[in-house]
Structure formats: structure tokens, C-alpha cells
Structure 1
Amino acid sequence: MEAGGRESKRRHTPELLFVWRLVPFFASCALYFLVWLPSEEPSWTSALAKCLPILCLAIFVRNTAPAGPYGQFIWLGLLCSILGDIVVTWPHRFLFGLSAFALARLLYLRALGWHPIRETFLESVAVVFLLYFGLLHSHLPSYLILPVAVYEAILALMLWRALVRGRFAALGGLLSSTSDAIQAWHTFVRPLPSARLIIRGTYYASQALLALSTMEGMAPQADSSTSAPPEESRQ
């Protein structure tokens, strides 16, 4: 019973550590929603408040994710997202912000990989994105049709690969697509009530889930002294 208690403690200690390391993220989200969300005026202060939660996630991934390309590319994607958040604070720099977010999605796509294929997921995602872009494109300025189409294609590929990976990555991909879809509709088609709250809430949640996906598969190893008796004792 004592050995079982020690094993349970080992299992829960890393989980509690992850939660504590996410406290700055939750605190910065609260700061944004409670203090800066009502403000419509672009400024460096509001840009900092907006990107601070993603910076906290980038630090979390850098300090916690196991070594390897998956965590590295998620971390780089978070950094590009920070750049995008800063740039789009000023509406006249929309294309630069869109480019930064597209690069972030490409880095996430690189992390998620291309195998297995799962054609069913690809077909479903393609149908949904084509239908949505069909509704959206007539409301776009002519100079934005091609950039937005390219961005939507990248986002669709990322969602496909996230769904294939499953778990945190799948939820993160779904929320990221939802956030971008609401943002595009609110910006180009019709203003939506409480849009900023919904857009930022789903955006922060999607980034947090992608950051947490770097932790999957990090279950602690059982202590050899308790998991199996020595070879001599079994003979």
C-alpha cells in the first residue's frame, strides 16, 4: 500500500508542476479580459497585454516540453503568434499580421507532421473550409482575396493534421479555426456581439491546448524497485 501511495504521488507531481507553470498564462489572460478588453484604441500597452498570455505559453513550452522537433516547432509557432498579435493591433498592418499568423500555422503544421494521412479527415475539413470561404470571399476587398485564401488553406491543413494527432492538438486546432472564422466574419461580413471576448477566449484556449500537446506522453516511469522484483528473487 505504501509503494502504491508513492507511485500515485509520482504520477501526480508532474501534473501539478505543469499546472503551477501555467499560472502566469491564466493570470495574464485575466489581466487582458478584465483590464484591456474594453479598450478599442491601439497602443503598445494594449499590444503587450494582448500578447502576454502567448509569451507565457512560449516560456512554458521552452521550459517544460521534452527535447525534440515537436516542442521546438510549437515554441517557434507561439513566437510567431506573438509577432502577429503585436502587428494586428494596428489595423493598417493587417497583411503583415496575417503573414505572421500564417507562418505560425506552418510551424504548427511542421510539428504535427504528415503521417498517418487519414483521408476522411482531410475531405471533411476541405468541404467545411471551401463552404466557409465561399460565403466569405464576396465580402473581402479584392486585394485580400488571395492572401486570405492562402491563409485559409494553411489553416485547413493544420486543422487536418491536428485532428489526426488527436487529444490536445485536435481541440487546439478546432478552437483555432473557430477563432479565425469568427474573427473573419466579424471583420468582413457583420459585427458580432461580444466578438472580441469570444475571439480572444477561443484563441487563447487553442494556443494553450497546442502548448499542452507537447506534454502528452510524458507519464513518469515506474521505479524499477517497485515495478518488478529483481531477477534473483523471481528464481
Structure 2
Amino acid sequence: LGLISYVYYDHRQRRSTSCILFLYLLPFFASTAVYFYLWIPESTPSPLAAGVKSAPVLSLALLVLSYNGGWSLLGVAGGLVLSACGDACLIWKEHFLHGMACFALAHILYSLSFLSWRYSSSSSSSWLYVLYLLLWGVSGGTFFYLLPFLRSSQDPDIYVPAIGAYTLLITVMATLALRTRRTLVMLGGLTFVISDLTIALQMFKVIETLDYNRHIIMTTYYLAQLLIAVGDVKTTLTPEADDLVKRKRL
């Protein structure tokens, strides 16, 4: 009877936690809807446009901060804030490299977070190594396929090393996301790679611009950030994380 009561209590507690988390996510869904309704990329670059575009990711940063505290600014919350800065920079085409630098720093913070004790897990299984190989093969192959287009760009001396370094950082981030073996985080890391590869292929004229290219890019981008943020929060809420926190306090 005691075991049944515990299971019932645990189920109610998890359901209550999920409901509260959903309520915290309402600002993200609302701001994302506003962005797609106004369709900021079609408007003239302005501080308002930058604010509308970065609002969904900033709302996710506040979500992570509310659950994980200020120290998360050195992890996922900080990565989300830097991503929001990158979103704002990309409103102006001349600030593309500044935006890419912000996202590169965000990937570094994500990577550090995925290496932290909260994501400690058992040794990797063989299927994960297959995913690692596929990820690095696709990322590396895409970069070398991009090289001729980068060399024919207006500033090849800047774009070749910059895109190379960024490709390395996002691939490392996605690899460490896979290493966590947390489903949401894994999917978030891979979706981020898909979003950024789509941007690179279209920006450097590797493929023709699709009719719905911005829909694909922004949907996958916001989805990636959502998965990473919620995955990070859920990692904090797991019983294993609570046990580790208690051990550290002792």
C-alpha cells in the first residue's frame, strides 16, 4: 500500500511540475507567434525588429534562470542570452559576423553545461558512436563542400576561417548534447545543426533560395533552443540531479 501511495504521489508531482513548466513556456509561444505574425525579416531593420526576433529566446533564458539560478548564466541560460544577442545582430546584414560570434560563444557555454556534473551519465553505447561519426561526417563534408563558395565570397580571408571555426564549435556542442543521452537535449543539438547548415547553404548560394526558407530556418532554430532549454530544466528536476545536489552540499 505504501509503494502504491508513493507511485501515485510521484505521478501527481510529475504532472504538476509539467503543468507549471508549460505555464512558464507561454511567453515563449506567445512571442514566437508574434514574430511569425509580424514576419520581421520582411521589415526594415530596427531595434523593435531585433527585440521581437530575440524575445522568444530571451523568454527561454528567463525560464532556465528561474529553475537553475544565476549560475546557469555560465551554462544554458548564458548561451540563450548570447543567442538572443546574435538574433538581434542578424537583423542587420552588415552585422552577420558579430551575430555568428555571439552564437559561437553560446555553443561554448552549451558545451560546458553538457559537460557538467548534472549531465553525468553511464558510458556511451555503440549506437552513439555511430551518431558521432554521422554528425562529424555531415558537418565536415558540408564545410568542405562550402569551401569553393566561401573562397569566392567578398571576404574569403574572413569567411573561410570564421565558418570553419563555427562549424567546429557547433559540431562539438551537438556531440556533447548526444553524449548527455537526454532525449530533448540530443534533439535540440541536432536540430540546431540542421538550422545552421540550412542558413550556410543558402547564404553562400550553394543551393537556390527556397520559397519557405525562412520558415524552415526559424522554425528549426526556435525548436532547437526550446528543446535545449526544456531539456536543461528537466535535467535539474530529475531525482538523480537532486541526489547529486544533496551529496555536494554534504
Shorter-normalised TM range:
0.7 to 0.9
Write 1 or 2 for the structure with the bigger share of helix: 2
1:162 is matched with 177
TM-score, with structure 1 as normaliser: 0.85
String of CA shifts for 1:174-213, please: whole Å, max 9, x gaps: 1100100111112112322211111111000100111011
Distance verdict in 2 for CA 1:5–1:110, change over 3 Å: closer
1:81 is matched with 83
Counterpart code for 1:9? R
String of CA shifts for 1:118-176, please: whole Å, max 9, x gaps: 65443332211111112212112213111001000101111111112131110000110
Alignment map for 1:94-113 (pairs within 5 Å): 94-113=96-115
Match of 1:20 among 14, 19, 23: 23
1:202 matched to 2:205: no
String of CA shifts for 1:27-59, please: whole Å, max 9, x gaps: 000000111346242111111110000010001
String of CA shifts for 1:52-110, please: whole Å, max 9, x gaps: 00010001101023x59668500010011011111111111111111111000011011
CA distance in structure 2 between the partners assigned to 1:20 and 1:171 by the alignment: 22
Query: How far 1:113 moved relative to its partner?
Result: 1.3
Distance verdict in 2 for CA 1:69–1:168, change over 3 Å: farther
Q: RMSD in angstroms over aligned alpha carbons?
A: 2.5
CA distance in structure 2 between the partners assigned to 1:127 and 1:161 by the alignment: 16
Q: Residue 159 of structure 1 contacts residue 173 of structure 1 at CA under 8 Å; is this kept in 2?
A: yes
Alignment map for 1:1-235 (pairs within 5 Å): 3=5, 6-37=9-40, 39-65=42-68, 72-113=74-115, 119-140=129-150, 141=153, 142=156, 143-166=158-181, 167-189=183-205, 190-217=208-235, 218-219=237-238
SS in 2 for 1:216: helix
Q: Residue 81 of structure 1 contacts residue 100 of structure 1 at CA under 8 Å; is this kept in 2?
A: yes
Distance verdict in 2 for CA 1:194–1:135, change over 3 Å: same
- Computing the radius of gyration from Cα coordinates, the structure with the larger value is 1
Q: Residue 36 of structure 1 contacts residue 49 of structure 1 at CA under 8 Å; is this kept in 2?
A: no
Q: Residue 41 of structure 2 contacts residue 91 of structure 2 at CA under 8 Å; is this kept in 1?
A: no
Equivalent residues, number: 220
Distance verdict in 2 for CA 1:206–1:109, change over 3 Å: same
Counterpart code for 1:168? L
CA distance in structure 1 between the partners assigned to 2:140 and 2:96 by the alignment: 22
Distance verdict in 2 for CA 1:71–1:9, change over 3 Å: farther
Q: Residue 175 of structure 1 contacts residue 203 of structure 1 at CA under 8 Å; is this kept in 2?
A: yes
Q: Structure 2 stretches of 5 or more lacking a match?
A: 241-250
Q: Structure 1 stretches of 5 or more lacking a match?
A: 222-235
CA distance in structure 1 between the partners assigned to 2:70 and 2:40 by the alignment: 36
2:248 is matched with none
Query: How far 1:219 moved relative to its partner?
Result: 4.4
